[in-house]
Amino acid sequence: MDKILDIDNVDLKIISLLNQDAKTPYTEIAKKVFVSSGTVHVRMRKLEDMGVVKSATLNIDFSKLGYDISAFLGIYLEKSSLYDNVIEMLKQIPEVINAYYTTGNYSIFAKIICKDTNHLRTVLDNIQKVDGIDRTETLIVLEESINRPIQFFDK
């Protein structure tokens, strides 16, 4: 039984609109999707219950809050079996925003956010110290040229 089958174009339209602005009132969504606002409620509750919509978050301009540096880290492990342990350690470092298990050379691929170069230095130091990490490669983000939500298509 595939969850995707339970999702129709009305759901996709609702998700798509709310993904552009999660604060749009359901009454307004309702008008655009040509259903009642009650239906929007029912559909959203369904999507939340299904775990399709996990939460709503703010899209923040971090540089305006003094977080001027973000970077991707390619992390090499001493042994790939250490993955879970290292992830647990990385969770302790608040500057680590994302971490992925990916194909390719890196054992872990992560994203961090820092205030400035000094901050970056200390974060990198802390990450290097993590047991099981061999070495890291740093890709510092100089410019974010594209950042947008998925555009869904009809089923």
Residues that bind DNA (CB under 7 A): 10, 25-28, 35-39, 41-43
Contacts of 66 (CB under 8 A, 6+ apart): 115
Beta bridge partners of residue 69, listed in sequence order: 114
Give the x-and-dash track for 16-55 against a second copy (CB under 8 A).
--xxxxxx--------------------------xxxxxx
Q: Would you say 36 and 44 are in contact if contact means Cβ atoms under 8 Å apart?
A: no
Centroid of chain to Cα 86: 20
Q: Which of 1, 81, 131, 146 binds a second copy (CB under 8 A)?
A: 146
Q: How far is the CB of 10 from DNA (least distance, A)?
A: 6
Distance CA 48, CA 58 (A): 18
Binding site for a second copy (CB under 8 A): 3-4, 7, 12, 15, 18-23, 50-62, 64-67, 71-72, 87, 90-91, 94, 96-104, 106, 108-110, 113, 137-152
